[in-house]
Amino acid sequence: MNTLNEIDKYIAGFPEETQKIMQHLRTIIRNAAPEAKEVISYAMTAYRKNIILVYFAGYKHHIGFYPTPNAIKAFKNELADYKWSKGAVQFPLSKPLPVELIERMVRFRLEEDSGKSSKR
């Protein structure tokens, strides 16, 4: 089957370099949460198990990563190098993605999803 899914179409709408970064982020999330389903939610790529775990979206100068307020709060000390807000973090297109941090945030959300979230 060679048809593009919604996520592929969404990513294809960005410049080639941004697409590469988005595909890398997609791989990082899939590796951390292989059982999560890819969906489009709020016009963004999202990953869902029982609840939405994380979202991401492309922008001109950054990738918006939306792991929810609980994950931002839990990892805020590690987000000092990035612009962040209550529920979002911006990963600049000019810097490598923080792979381990993203993996840990996704796993944190998986713990929340399963009701086993531990206090950090």
pLDDT tens, residue by residue, 11-26? 999 999 999 999 999 9
- Which residues span the domain enclosing 59? 6-113
The verdict on residue 14 lying in a domain is yes
The verdict on residue 10 lying in a domain is yes
The verdict on residue 118 lying in a domain is no
Give me the chain's average pLDDT, please.
Answer: 92
The verdict on residue 120 lying in a domain is no
Sign of CA dihedral 64, 69, 73, 74: negative
Burial 67-93 (b: 16+ CB within 10 A, else e): bbeebbebbeeebeebebeeebbbbeb
The verdict on residue 119 lying in a domain is no
Higher pLDDT pick, 117 / 38: 38
Question: Count of domains in the chain?
Answer: 1
Residue 48's pLDDT band (boundaries 50, 70, 90)? very high
Q: Quick one: average pLDDT of 55-59?
A: 97
* Per-residue pLDDT tens digits for 58-108: 999 999 999 999 999 999 999 999 999 999 999 999 999 999 999 999 999
The verdict on residue 1 lying in a domain is no
* CA–CA distances in Å: residue 81 to residues 50, 66, 77: 31, 16, 9
pTM: 0.90
The verdict on residue 51 lying in a domain is yes
The verdict on residue 19 lying in a domain is yes
What is the pLDDT at residue 115?
82
User: What CATH number does the domain containing 36 carry?
Assistant: 3.90.1150.200
